[in-house]
């Protein structure tokens, strides 16, 4: 009897390649899974050779995860539609601005019984509401979509340093399968049944990290940074509940995708770093994006704008003083020290009877 299931990976950047390593090792121990793990690689030429050929010959993604061998059962394929066509489990891990184009490419090629999981960080919040990556994927492919997010710096995982992650999956049986694909002794997976709560955490934490960077730029201390992390974390939870109400579970915020990822992102990462530079140099965020990110957009800066558009259109700015201050410092020229204005908000009534996690 041939294995029932087949997993594939869409995306071969730093995080996609790291996920491929973990999954390809795990499937060899899972009898219900085919051993081959196809990974879609956006074809590019590296040192005169196709990246797919390099990966399939040398078993290393020399461009995006150099120094870490991939298992031999990882097979790089340049055609995304070809990758998904026989897959029951589709892992989506590409930069969020490319998602719609990728979905259009594979639309019609996926199996009707397939399911997907999104490892993408980012969310679309506007004054019309918000759309998460799992919702965008589900809308095009009409299959169940789960989410995965956590305090997961890809290189540290590739070095097999202990960490945790969170899978949001609404079906308890499917959650077990996804967990079996990702869990390792050094990459510990917890499952919750709150798909979009996990996604909100992954997106909103970048705004808090911008605030933490301002504190570093102002040369303030540990107490102050901890206060900003605490208030930012509680505004994240409040905003997610404001947008999605009963769908969001408070307990999700205590998982790796929540509090742990906020902490990591506020002490490392480029959102924090650029915000620190913003205060120290007095340059605009756009200028710093040009100088330090080759013009790439800073996620926390973008999301701060989207969050503001949402809360401003609903007139609830007073309930989100930190997010409002961060927005005004980034976009409206308010001085960085105004980050403390009106922060004495009471969050103690935000909690309610929690729903049990999986």
- Side-chain half-sphere of 275: how many Cα atoms within 13 Å? 36
Does 256 help bind a second copy (rule: CB under 8 A)?
Answer: yes
Does 347 help bind a second copy (rule: CB under 8 A)?
Answer: yes
Tokens of 142: 């009409």
Quote the least distance from Cβ 147 to a second copy, whole Å: 17
Q: How far apart are CA 77 and CA 242, in angstroms?
A: 42
Quote the least distance from Cβ 322 to a second copy, whole Å: 12
Stretch that binds a second copy, among 59-67, 136-144, 230-238, 307-315 (CB under 8 A): 230-238
Residue 26 contacts residue 183 (beta carbons within 8 Å): yes
| Catalytic residue selected from 205, 225, 283, 334 | 205
3-state secondary structure of 224: helix
Residue 23 contacts residue 91 (beta carbons within 8 Å): yes
Does 246 help bind a second copy (rule: CB under 8 A)?
Answer: no
Does 303 help bind a second copy (rule: CB under 8 A)?
Answer: no
Among 57, 66, 69, 267, which residue sits at the site for a second copy (rule: CB under 8 A)? 267
How far, in Å, are 28, 181, 233, 304 from residue 32 at the CA level? 10, 11, 40, 43
Tell me whether residue 205 is one of the annotated catalytic residues. yes
**Of 177, 8, 193, 23, residue with least CA distance to 91:** 8
In the chain, where does DSSP find H-type helix? Answer: 14-27, 51-58, 80-84, 99-106, 133-141, 154-158, 172-182, 195-217, 222-244, 261-267, 270-281, 285-293, 299-313, 321-331
Quote the least distance from Cβ 13 to a second copy, whole Å: 17
Does 349 help bind a second copy (rule: CB under 8 A)?
Answer: yes
Does 229 help bind a second copy (rule: CB under 8 A)?
Answer: yes
Among 190, 206, 325, 328, which residue sits at the site for a second copy (rule: CB under 8 A)? 190
Pick between residue 81 and residue 358 the one whose CB is nearest to a second copy: 358
**Of 63, 62, 107, 59, residue with least CA distance to 85:** 107
Does 340 help bind a second copy (rule: CB under 8 A)?
Answer: yes
Among 53, 82, 86, 164, which residue sits at the site for a second copy (rule: CB under 8 A)? 164
Q: How far apart are CA 132 and CA 312, in angstroms?
A: 20
Does 235 help bind a second copy (rule: CB under 8 A)?
Answer: no
Question: For residue 184, what are the contacts with CB-CB under 8 A and spacing of at least 6?
Answer: 22, 25, 26
Among 40, 200, 233, 310, which residue sits at the site for a second copy (rule: CB under 8 A)? 233
| Residues in contact with a second copy by the rule CB under 8 A | 151-153, 156-157, 159, 161-164, 185, 188, 190, 192, 220-227, 229-230, 233-234, 250-251, 254-256, 259-261, 263-264, 267-268, 340, 343-344, 346-349, 351-354, 356-358
The residues that are catalytic are 205
């Amino acid at each position: 009897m041939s294995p029932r299931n087949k997993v594939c990976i869409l995306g071969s950047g730093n995080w996609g390649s790291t996920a491929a390593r973990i999954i390809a090792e795990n499937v060899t121990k899972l009898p219900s899974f085919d051993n081959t793990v196809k990974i879609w690689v956006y074809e590019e030429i590296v040192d005169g050779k196709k990246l797919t050929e390099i990966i399939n010959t040398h078993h290393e993604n020399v461009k995006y995860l150099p120094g870490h061998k991939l298992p031999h059962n990882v097979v790089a394929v340049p055609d995304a539609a070809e990758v998904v066509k026989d897959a029951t489990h589709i892992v989506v891990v590409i930069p969020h601005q490319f998602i719609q184009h990728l979905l259009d490419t594979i639309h019609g090629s996926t199996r009707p019984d397939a399911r997907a999981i999104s490892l993408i960080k980012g969310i679309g919040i506007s004054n019309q509401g918000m759309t998460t990556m799992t919702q965008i994927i589900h809308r095009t492919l009409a299959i169940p979509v789960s989410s995965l997010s956590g305090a997961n710096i890809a290189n540290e995982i590739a070095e097999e340093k202990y960490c945790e992650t969170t899978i949001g999956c609404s079906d308890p049986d499917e959650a077990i399968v996804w967990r079996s694909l990702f869990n390792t002794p050094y990459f510990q997976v917890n499952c919750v049944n709150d798909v979009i709560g996990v996604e909100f955490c992954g997106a909103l934490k970048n705004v808090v990290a911008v605030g933490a960077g301002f504190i570093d730029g102002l040369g303030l201390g540990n107490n102050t940074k901890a206060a900003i992390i605490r208030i930012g974390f509680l505004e994240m939870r409040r905003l997610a509940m404001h947008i999605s109400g009963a769908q969001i579970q408070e307990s999700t915020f205590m998982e790796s995708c929540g509090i742990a990822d906020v902490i990591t992102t506020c002490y490392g990462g480029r959102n924090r770093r650029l915000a620190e530079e913003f205060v120290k140099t007095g340059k605009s965020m756009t200028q710093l994006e040009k100088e330090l990110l080759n013009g790439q957009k800073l996620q926390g800066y973008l999301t701060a704008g989207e969050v503001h558009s949402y809360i401003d259109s609903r007139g609830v700015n007073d309930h989100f003083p930190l997010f409002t201050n961060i927005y005004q410092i980034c976009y409206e020229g308010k001085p960085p020290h105004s980050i403390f204005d009106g922060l004495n908000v009471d969050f103690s009534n935000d909690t309610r009877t929690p729903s049990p996690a999986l």
